[in-house]
Amino acid sequence: MVAFLMVMMACNNNCYVPTRALLGVAFMDSAQLKPVTVKQLTIKGEGNDSILYNASSEQSVFLPLRQNQTVTRFEMSFLRHKEDTVPTAYTLEVKHQPYPQLISEECGCVMFHSIDTATCYNAQESLRVEIYSTNVINVEGDVQLKISL
Protein backbone atom coordinates (compact mmCIF):
# COMPACT_ATOMS: atom_id res chain seq x y z
CA MET A 1 0.00 0.00 0.00
CA VAL A 2 2.79 2.41 0.94
CA ALA A 3 4.74 1.54 -2.20
CA PHE A 4 1.63 2.18 -4.28
CA LEU A 5 1.22 5.61 -2.75
CA MET A 6 4.86 6.47 -3.27
CA VAL A 7 4.73 5.53 -6.94
CA MET A 8 1.69 7.73 -7.38
CA MET A 9 3.47 10.63 -5.68
CA ALA A 10 6.57 10.22 -7.83
CA CYS A 11 4.62 10.21 -11.08
CA ASN A 12 3.45 13.84 -10.95
CA ASN A 13 6.00 15.75 -13.09
CA ASN A 14 3.81 18.60 -14.34
CA CYS A 15 4.45 22.28 -13.80
CA TYR A 16 1.30 24.31 -13.24
CA VAL A 17 2.71 27.80 -12.61
CA PRO A 18 4.32 30.38 -14.89
CA THR A 19 8.04 29.93 -15.46
CA ARG A 20 8.85 33.50 -16.44
CA ALA A 21 9.18 36.61 -14.31
CA LEU A 22 8.16 39.68 -16.33
CA LEU A 23 8.12 43.32 -15.29
CA GLY A 24 4.54 44.61 -15.30
CA VAL A 25 4.06 48.26 -16.31
CA ALA A 26 0.67 49.94 -16.14
CA PHE A 27 -0.28 53.30 -17.66
CA MET A 28 -2.32 55.64 -15.48
CA ASP A 29 -4.24 58.84 -16.05
CA SER A 30 -2.49 61.31 -13.74
CA ALA A 31 -5.65 63.43 -13.30
CA GLN A 32 -8.19 60.69 -12.64
CA LEU A 33 -5.73 58.13 -11.19
CA LYS A 34 -7.30 55.43 -13.31
CA PRO A 35 -5.78 52.99 -15.81
CA VAL A 36 -5.59 54.46 -19.28
CA THR A 37 -5.17 52.77 -22.65
CA VAL A 38 -2.23 54.03 -24.65
CA LYS A 39 -2.42 53.75 -28.42
CA GLN A 40 0.12 53.08 -31.10
CA LEU A 41 2.36 51.57 -28.42
CA THR A 42 5.63 50.09 -29.62
CA ILE A 43 8.24 48.67 -27.24
CA LYS A 44 11.55 46.96 -27.80
CA GLY A 45 14.64 46.41 -25.72
CA GLU A 46 17.53 48.81 -26.20
CA GLY A 47 20.00 47.21 -28.60
CA ASN A 48 17.56 44.43 -29.47
CA ASP A 49 15.81 44.25 -32.83
CA SER A 50 12.99 42.05 -31.60
CA ILE A 51 9.83 44.07 -30.95
CA LEU A 52 7.83 43.23 -27.82
CA TYR A 53 4.74 45.34 -28.61
CA ASN A 54 4.09 46.64 -32.13
CA ALA A 55 1.71 49.59 -32.52
CA SER A 56 -0.86 48.08 -30.19
CA SER A 57 -3.30 49.54 -27.68
CA GLU A 58 -2.55 48.49 -24.11
CA GLN A 59 -3.34 49.43 -20.52
CA SER A 60 -0.42 47.42 -19.20
CA VAL A 61 2.59 45.65 -20.66
CA PHE A 62 4.90 42.89 -19.46
CA LEU A 63 8.59 43.15 -20.21
CA PRO A 64 11.60 40.84 -19.74
CA LEU A 65 14.46 42.21 -17.65
CA ARG A 66 18.09 41.42 -18.27
CA GLN A 67 19.56 38.76 -16.02
CA ASN A 68 23.28 39.46 -16.52
CA GLN A 69 23.01 43.20 -15.90
CA THR A 70 21.46 45.42 -13.25
CA VAL A 71 20.09 48.02 -15.71
CA THR A 72 17.55 47.32 -18.44
CA ARG A 73 16.36 49.94 -20.93
CA PHE A 74 13.39 49.79 -23.24
CA GLU A 75 12.58 52.06 -26.17
CA MET A 76 8.90 52.98 -26.09
CA SER A 77 6.75 55.12 -28.32
CA PHE A 78 3.05 55.86 -28.05
CA LEU A 79 0.47 58.63 -28.60
CA ARG A 80 1.17 60.88 -25.63
CA HIS A 81 -2.02 62.95 -25.91
CA LYS A 82 -5.45 62.14 -27.34
CA GLU A 83 -5.03 64.66 -30.13
CA ASP A 84 -1.59 63.35 -31.17
CA THR A 85 -1.20 61.52 -34.45
CA VAL A 86 2.50 60.79 -34.23
CA PRO A 87 3.86 58.58 -31.39
CA THR A 88 6.27 60.17 -28.91
CA ALA A 89 9.43 58.24 -28.03
CA TYR A 90 10.53 57.57 -24.44
CA THR A 91 13.18 55.50 -22.74
CA LEU A 92 12.12 53.33 -19.80
CA GLU A 93 15.15 52.63 -17.62
CA VAL A 94 14.89 50.12 -14.78
CA LYS A 95 17.64 49.43 -12.26
CA HIS A 96 17.19 46.07 -10.59
CA GLN A 97 18.88 43.21 -8.77
CA PRO A 98 18.43 39.79 -10.37
CA TYR A 99 18.34 36.72 -8.14
CA PRO A 100 17.78 33.11 -9.17
CA GLN A 101 14.93 31.21 -7.57
CA LEU A 102 13.90 27.58 -7.66
CA ILE A 103 10.15 27.43 -8.36
CA SER A 104 9.82 23.69 -7.85
CA GLU A 105 11.41 20.48 -9.01
CA GLU A 106 8.86 20.27 -11.82
CA CYS A 107 9.16 23.90 -12.96
CA GLY A 108 12.87 24.49 -12.53
CA CYS A 109 14.65 27.79 -11.91
CA VAL A 110 13.60 31.31 -12.90
CA MET A 111 15.38 34.63 -12.54
CA PHE A 112 13.48 36.97 -10.22
CA HIS A 113 14.28 40.66 -9.81
CA SER A 114 14.12 43.30 -7.14
CA ILE A 115 13.45 46.81 -8.49
CA ASP A 116 15.71 49.60 -7.25
CA THR A 117 14.69 52.57 -9.41
CA ALA A 118 12.67 53.23 -12.56
CA THR A 119 12.52 56.30 -14.82
CA CYS A 120 10.73 57.10 -18.08
CA TYR A 121 12.06 60.05 -20.03
CA ASN A 122 12.94 61.73 -23.27
CA ALA A 123 14.76 64.96 -24.08
CA GLN A 124 11.68 67.08 -23.28
CA GLU A 125 10.12 65.52 -20.20
CA SER A 126 10.26 62.84 -17.54
CA LEU A 127 7.09 60.92 -16.78
CA ARG A 128 6.26 60.09 -13.20
CA VAL A 129 6.93 56.42 -12.45
CA GLU A 130 5.62 54.86 -9.25
CA ILE A 131 7.20 51.63 -8.01
CA TYR A 132 4.05 49.81 -6.93
CA SER A 133 5.90 46.62 -6.01
CA THR A 134 9.62 45.91 -5.93
CA ASN A 135 9.46 42.16 -6.58
CA VAL A 136 9.33 40.79 -10.09
CA ILE A 137 8.29 37.16 -9.71
CA ASN A 138 6.48 34.51 -11.72
CA VAL A 139 2.95 35.80 -11.21
CA GLU A 140 0.99 36.48 -14.38
CA GLY A 141 -0.47 39.95 -14.60
CA ASP A 142 1.54 41.29 -11.66
CA VAL A 143 2.27 45.05 -11.99
CA GLN A 144 5.39 46.60 -10.49
CA LEU A 145 5.50 50.04 -12.18
CA LYS A 146 2.80 52.64 -12.83
CA ILE A 147 3.55 55.38 -15.36
CA SER A 148 1.41 58.50 -15.02
CA LEU A 149 0.39 60.25 -18.24
Partner 1 sequence: MFNLKFLCSLACLLCLPLLAARAQETPVAVPDSAQQPVDIAKIAAAKSKKSVYEATYLSADIFDPIATAFTGKFEFSVAADVSLWHRLFPAIEIGVMGYNQQQEDYHYTTAGGFVKVGANYNFLNYKPNRKKDHAVFAGVRYGYSFTSYQLQDAHIANNYWNETGVYSNDKRTAHFGWVEFQIGVRVQVYKQFFMGAALEIRTFGHYYQKEPYYPSTIAGFGSDANTTNFGLLYHLTYQFPTKK
Q: Should residue 66 be labelled a site residue for partner 1 when binding is judged by CB under 8 A?
A: yes
Q: Is the CB of residue 80 less than 8 Å from the CB of residue 54?
A: no
Dihedral over alpha carbons 130, 132, 138, 142 (to 10 degrees): -90
For residue 6, give the 3-state DSSP assignment.
helix
Of 37, 57, 97, 117, the residue at the interface with partner 1 (CB under 8 A) is 97
39 binds partner 1 (CB under 8 A): no
Q: Which is nearer to partner 1, 52 or 61 (CB)?
A: 52
Which of 28-36, 48-56, 84-92, 118-126 is the region at the interface with partner 1 (rule: CB under 8 A)? Answer: 48-56
Residue 138 within binding range of partner 1, rule CB under 8 A: no
Say how far apart CA 6 and CA 142 lie, in whole Å: 36
Which residues lie below 8 Å from residue 130, measured CB to CB, with a gap of 6+?
145, 146, 148
Stretch touching partner 1 by CB under 8 A, among 32-40, 62-70, 78-86, 125-133: 62-70
Q: Are the C-beta atoms of residues 11 and 131 closer than 8 Å to each other?
A: no
Contacts to partner 1 by CB under 8 A: 1-2, 4-12, 16, 45, 48, 50, 52, 64, 66-68, 97-105, 108-112, 114
